[in-house]
Amino acid sequence: MKKTILGAAFIIIISITIATFFFEQHPELTGPELNQRNEKLDTQEVKPPQPIPLQPIYIEDSIGYSLQNNQLQITYNKGMDWIVVPVDKVQLFAGEYNGNEQELIEKSYILTQNRATFLFSEGDRIKLIYSLNQGKTWEHTVVREEYLPIRFRKVAFLNESFGYVIISGDRTMSQEWNAVYLTKDGGKQWKETTHSNVTRLIYDGGFVDENTGFLSFGILNPVEPDLHVTQDGGNSWSPTVVTIPEKYHQIFVMAETPFKEEEHLAVHINQGPNGDYQGGKVKGKFISNDNGKTWEFSMEVLPNESDY
């Protein structure tokens, strides 16, 4: 009897060993339910992730841009179609800039029906990329070779041919270099104007015609406007005389870009970063009847009346 039991046990052990060997050699021998599950997974279509629709930041009714997906794209039909601007996003924000890079730097671009222009840095060069046919073709042009990282940047055109670029950089404490460039051929070529000999931090600037332009300085604790004018297309610059009524001394301290109004020039002078007069948003409007050399107070301007 004992031999019979031992023999049976031996046969069982041998059978289990053989069965285990064959199972290890054939892992595909799995249960029918598992096979069906694997077949189902194999036949399922793997869908690629869907891109997030671009959300335009509108400049005009149907014209806008997007910086989503780390790419500058523009639209002329409310986001139905998009045109990629061939410039790296990081180049648009190069230099001294601390914003969130979700929107383009104010005044560093033009986006209209007739012109798309973007100011950017490429290495040590300051360049423009522009299109005059709504993005069908693009042109690159160099504004300046070998320039230190920029802080202030502005590009504008008064008509199809005349435009200007104002840049500053190489800031050390409250001093920096600045430069003004003009084009008379629509942006193909740029020529630097004579330097203003002012090294305070620039606040704003611009031209009202091809000969008359302005530079406004002083952004750190300003106590009075520091506005300079050229009346010969940038060949020379001189400080303007802004007569501030005693009531507004050390209140209206930073001059914005002057503009044409009827038969004279006008400028809004705001309260700077520390102003608290009437809530800090009221500006002073000043008038010049000698093309920008001298300015006289005209009126207070409420915040919703200062857009022009």
pLDDT at residue 241, as a whole number? 98
232 or 5, greater pLDDT: 232
Q: What is the DSSP letter of 194?
A: P
- State the pLDDT confidence band at 29, using cuts at 50, 70 and 90: very low
3-state secondary structure of 35: helix
* Mean pLDDT score of the chain: 88
- For residue 161, the number of C-alpha atoms closer than 13 Å in the C-beta half-sphere is 4
- State the pLDDT confidence band at 308, using cuts at 50, 70 and 90: very low
Check: CB of residue 139 under 8 Å from CB of residue 185: no
pLDDT in tens, 213-231: 999 999 998 999 999 999 9
Residues 6+ apart with CB under 8 A from 126: 119, 120, 142, 143, 144, 147, 150, 165, 167
Quick one: which H or E segment has residue 13?
A: helix 2-25
- In order of 67, 169, 254, 258, 293, the CA distances from 265 in angstroms are 37, 29, 17, 7, 10
Range scoring the smallest mean pLDDT among 7-21, 43-57, 139-153: 7-21
The answer to whether residue 20 scores a pLDDT higher than 80 is no
Q: In 121-137, which positions are buried (b, 16+ CB within 10 angstroms) versus exposed (e)?
A: beeeebbbbbbbebbee
Check: CB of residue 224 under 8 Å from CB of residue 254: no
- State the pLDDT confidence band at 43, using cuts at 50, 70 and 90: low
Q: Which of 113, 176, 158, 165 is nearest to 142 (CA)?
A: 165
pLDDT in tens, 64-98: 999 999 999 999 999 999 999 999 999 999 999 98
CA angle 214, 215, 217 (to 5 degrees): 150
pLDDT at residue 7, as a whole number? 57
Tokens coding 123: 């290495």
pLDDT in tens, 119-170: 999 988 999 999 999 999 999 999 999 877 899 999 999 999 999 999 999 8
pLDDT at residue 49, as a whole number? 72
- In order of 159, 175, 244, the CA distances from 112 in angstroms are 12, 34, 37
39 or 276, greater pLDDT: 276
Residues 6+ apart with CB under 8 A from 107: 153, 154, 155, 156
pLDDT in tens, 235-248: 999 999 999 999 99
Check: CB of residue 69 under 8 Å from CB of residue 125: no
The rounded distance, in Å, linking the Cα atoms of 225 and 219 is 10
pLDDT at residue 28, as a whole number? 47
pLDDT at residue 123, as a whole number? 87
Check: CB of residue 211 under 8 Å from CB of residue 231: yes
The rounded distance, in Å, linking the Cα atoms of 308 and 300 is 15
